[in-house]
Amino acid sequence: MRKISIETGIVSSAEGSARVRIGDTEVVAGVKMAVGTPFPDTPEEGVLIVSGEFIPFADPLFEAGPPREDAIELSRLVDRAIRESKAVDMKKLCITAGEKVWMINVDIDIINNGGNMVDASSIAAAAALVTTRLPEVDENGKVLYGKPTDTKLPMSGIPLCTTFVKIGNSVLLDPSLSEYQTLDGRLTVGTVDKGGIKLCSMQKNGAAGFSMDEIEGMASLAEEKGEEMRRLVREAAK
């Protein structure tokens, strides 16, 4: 992979935030906590919402307006890895069953597109979540933003995405922008360090298929590279 750098605590108005650079790709993620109503089918669990925005100056092809299809896909890929990993104990975010829960809003902004935006966004979201501190809540249930407590999010692992692309007969890790623009197929693998390294999500895109040997190789490498990225996240969160 290209060089990865992580900075945390860069957005003072967020409960957790991080800036991540992978090569020329730059992403900022912020976590905003709010008290809201749980979903009817999960009345005793908190709510997770991940949204991504492609800022126009990040790439000549990005335009202002409603979220692009690839921005929606990026959000879902990051969301799925976090959600399916069960790394965040959503039940511990319940305040009053069926009435009040903590809502985790993860906002991702692409500052510069140098390729592999998914992995950069995943790392930024993870680093922001790890450094999140719940804000104070007064006796009336009003969230006192700007007054963080020492309470962290109830996390038992760090979920991350690792993306591979296929160009011809070659499978590449951490695609640059030019490699991403010429891919025939793509596979994003989510892993989490929870009772050992485990796979938690997987999504394919593009017309080209992958053999079972290629998939097993990518899954194995995703576990290895995921651990390398987690060490960087933990170091940045200190």
Residue 140 pLDDT: 79
Quote the pLDDT of residue 69. 86
pLDDT at residue 133, as a whole number: 96
Q: Does domain 4-237 have CATH number 3.30.230.70?
A: yes
30, β-bridge pairs: 17, 107
Give per-residue pLDDT as tens, 119-174: 999 999 999 999 999 999 888 778 899 899 999 999 999 999 999 999 999 999 99
Quickly state the pLDDT bin for 94 (edges 50, 70, 90).
very high
73 CA to centre of own chain: 12
Report the predicted TM-score, pTM, of the whole model to 2 decimal places: 0.95
**Pairing label, strands 16-22, 25-36:** antiparallel
**Least reliable range by pLDDT among 15-24, 56-65, 101-110, 121-130:** 56-65
CB 42 within 8 A of CB 155: no
Q: How far is CA 146 from CA 7, 14, 30, 89, 135, in A?
A: 20, 8, 14, 24, 7
Domain boundaries, the chain: 4-237
- Residue 234, Cβ neighbours under 10 Å: how many? 14
d(C-alpha 72, C-alpha 11), whole Å: 23
pLDDT tens digit sequence for 41-67: 999 999 999 999 998 988 988 888 777
Is the torsion defined by CA of 121, 122, 126, 127 positive or negative? Answer: negative
Burial of 222 (0-12, 13-18, 19+ CB in 10 A): buried
Q: Residues 174-184: what's their mean pLDDT?
A: 94
Mean pLDDT of the chain: 95
Cα separations (Å) of 65 from 69, 125, 144, 148? Answer: 12, 23, 32, 33
pLDDT computed for residue 110 by the predictor:
96
Residue 68, pLDDT score: 79
